Structures are given as C-alpha cells and as structure tokens.
Amino acid sequence: MSSGAGRLDVARVRGLFPGLSDGFVHADGPAGSLVPESVVRAVSQAMRVPIANRGGVFPSSARAEQLVSGARSAVADLVGGVASGVVLGANMTTLTYAVARALAKRWQPGDEVVVSRLDHDANVRPWIQLAVETGVAVRWAEVDIETGELPAWQYDELVTPRTRLVAVTAASNAIGTRPDIAAIAERAHRVGALVYLDAVHAAPHVLLDKTALGADFVAVSAYKWCGPHVGAVVADPALLEQFSPDKLVPAPDRVPDRYETGTPPFELYAGVAAAVEHLAALYPEGEGTRRQRLATSMAAVGRYEGELFTQLDRALRSMPHVQVLGSPEYRTPTLSFTVSRMRPRQVTRELARRNVCAWDGDYYARELFDAIGVNETGGAVRLGLLHYNTVDEVDHLIQSVADLR
C-alpha cells in the first residue's frame, strides 16, 4: 500500500508521528490518536510568543484573536460549516451539556427527545438528564444487536410532532456502525425537530458534510483526528442566535462566543488548525481550497483504512475463540470482540505484553453493550485503525489475537 494515484504514502505518513517510535502497535485510535510533529510544533510555537486574552488593542491580544479565528475556520472546513458557527470548548461532553442546557430552556412537559442505544453516553446522558429536569419524555432508537445497525425506519414511529430533538451518532465508537444520518435527519426535520450529531468518531475516517447529513449541530473532538484536547460544536449561526446559554454577564453575547465560558487554551487552538491541515495534506497531491484538499485526502484515507480493516475483520471472524460484535454494512475501521474463557481486561493485558495498545470495557457505549449483554463480563476488547497503521501491524494484531486461543 505505497504511494500511487489516490493512495496514501504510508511510509511518509508514519514519518510525521514521533510517537510511533515506541515500538507498540497503536490500535487504540478510537480512544485518541497519536499527534504528528506539525501539531506539536504549532502548539509549542504558539507558547513561545506573548499571547494575552482577546479584546485588547496590543499585539499579544491580536495573536489570541488570530488563534481563535484560525481554529474556527479549520473546524468549519472539516465539517462543511461556517467559521462563525463554530463553538470551541474543552471537549465534546462539556459542550454538549452546555448546548443541552440552552435548548432545554424552551422544552415543556409533554415534549419529547429521541436518543439511541448506539451512541456514546456523551450524546445520551445530557439529554436524558435535562429531560428529567424539564418533564420531557425520552424515546429510544434501538440497535439490531445481531448486525449492529441502527435502522432508520424506526424513526418513523419514534419522531412525533412533540419531538424537539433527535440525538444520534455519525459512527459508533465501539463497533464502527455508520447509520443513515440523512434519512434520520429528514424524518426529524419533517416535524420541526433539531438533530444533534455526535461526529467525534466519524471525523478521522470520512469527510463530514454538515449540510448533506442534515445535522443542525455537529460535535467533534480534535484529539480523535491528530489534534490536541479541544472540542467543537458546529451549527448555523442563525440557529445559535436563537438560544441563550448560561454565561457570565460581562462575557460577550455575540455568536458563537456566548457559548464559550472562561479563558480558552489559545495555544491548543493553534494545534487544532494544524491538525486539520495535517488531514488535508495526507495526500499531498491534492489541490484547491483546504476543504477540497480534505476531500481528496479523506477519500484516500477511507480506501486505505478500508483495505486494512477488511483484512483484520475477516481474520478475527474466522477464529473460533473470538466473537466479533455486530457486522454493520457501513462502518469505520473499528471493531469490538470477546475471547472465549477470557475477560476483556485479561485480553488487553496479553495484547499489551505483545506490544499492542487496545482498550477493554464499554468505552462509554454503555447502552449498546448493555443491549448486547457483554457488560456483565467486563465489556469487550476494541481495536481501531487510523491512517498511520500498516499491513505489518495488522498482521501482528491478527497473530496476537490468534495466540490467545
């Protein structure tokens, strides 16, 4: 899988990551990616010059404004939004709670929200907790536990004229399922409901298009796509104008600033912009705007990761001592599995002894793993690939799991 037309030069890509020198196979991408040198350098350089808070009339304050503007523009390019609709914050969970509180101020008893069993708890619990506080009913979209699919047809009955919000994931961080978001959003918008899309796990693997997906809010986390620990929620600025999040009185009331509390980590915002540029440059022959280069690079990423993952998935499914959870048609290069007569933590310990980084547990996909029935025995083991993984590493993963029989 070397360089070629529309293909990644993976040797070049791996040379961008200093963390790959530790000798481990990093198959823990769904929990957070490694960071390329360009992002490390961007953060470091931002901290070497004076940076003040925003709103001043001197150079160090202007630098802060530039860092905020740069991060907003980069995230907008990543998801197909506009910079003035990008809310930056500590992480997706914190931002989702803030948006949920703002939206819930308009909810009334008898209203409804729809959540799914496929989602990370960060796109479940905030909505449920606010629903309890406001007397709003919660309706659940269920997962086909055999295939791991989230059928869009069930939203025909779940979404009603009382539905105010549909929360759904663009990709499961546990089993990789990519639901038909456009079909779900169309059903939600038919009754005037808003769609809050958790795209945290999808963003490193596919080109997001907020408009095509039909999402009103798109949430992402930079540390999943080779950036620092910064989250973002992207929406139409006119939609953000309609709500009043909790904020300090002297803090700016303009959009999107009104959704952001406290002094932000300006230096990390430099890393956010650098991480998006990293993705856009993965296929260096790409041309045009950053959004256009992202489209070219992410297409190459999808092809490469897909080939690697097919090899891994087929091999694990052929092992009698391994049970892979679900078999969705459209997915990210992520899977979870159990091993006969071994608890998940035992498996990850054995894999670590073989220089493999892998996660065990429920990875905050609590509802999904409760439905499948694996939480009682410690959850499952997760392997997830990214654009810096190789064929040789996949071979090592396969052999390491085979050795556990």
Helix, strand, coil percentages (3-state) for the chain, rounded to 5, are 45, 15, 40
221: helix, strand or coil: strand
User: What DSSP character marks residue 77?
Assistant: H
**pLDDT the model gives residue 6:** 78
We find that the CATH architecture of domain 41-278 is: 3-Layer(aba) Sandwich (3.40)
Query: Which one, of 95, 126, 330, 32, lies nearest residue 233 by Cα?
Result: 95
Measure Cα distances from 26 to 123, 359, 393 in Å.
26, 11, 9
| Residue carrying structure tokens 């992402």 | 220
The answer to whether the CB of 118 falls within 8 A of the CB of 150 is yes
Beta bridge partners of 290: none
Query: Which one, of 72, 38, 92, lies nearest residue 201 by Cα?
Result: 92
Three-state secondary structure of 293-321: HHHHHHHHHHHHHHHHHHHHHHHHHCCCC
Kindly state the helix (H) or strand (E) to which residue 357 belongs, with its residue range.
strand 356-357
> Could you tell me whether strands 359-361 and 231-235 are parallel, antiparallel, or unpaired per DSSP bridges?
unpaired
pLDDT (tens, 9 = 90+) of the chain, 405 residues, equals: 333 457 899 999 999 999 999 999 999 999 999 999 999 999 999 999 999 999 999 999 999 999 999 999 999 999 999 999 999 999 999 999 999 999 999 999 999 999 999 999 999 999 999 999 999 999 999 999 999 999 999 999 999 999 999 999 999 999 999 999 999 999 999 999 999 999 999 999 999 999 999 999 999 999 999 999 999 999 999 999 999 999 999 999 999 999 999 999 999 999 999 999 999 999 999 999 999 999 999 999 999 999 999 999 999 999 999 999 999 999 999 999 999 999 999 999 999 999 999 999 999 999 999 999 999 999 999 999 999 999 999 999 999 999 998
| Residue carrying structure tokens 């990551």 | 17
The answer to whether the CB of 297 falls within 8 A of the CB of 97 is no
Q: Report the distance separating Cα 368 and Cα 366, nearest Å.
A: 6
Fold of 10-38+290-402: Aspartate Aminotransferase, domain 1 (3.90.1150)
**pLDDT the model gives residue 5:** 54
Where exactly are the structural domains of the chain?
A: 10-38+290-402, 41-278
Largest CA distance in the chain: 67
**pLDDT the model gives residue 32:** 98
Query: Which one, of 188, 70, 168, lies nearest residue 122 by Cα?
Result: 168
Q: Report the distance separating Cα 338 and Cα 361, nearest Å.
A: 11
Q: Report the distance separating Cα 240 and Cα 235, nearest Å.
A: 7
Q: Report the distance separating Cα 54 and Cα 273, nearest Å.
A: 18
What pTM was computed for the model?
Answer: 0.97
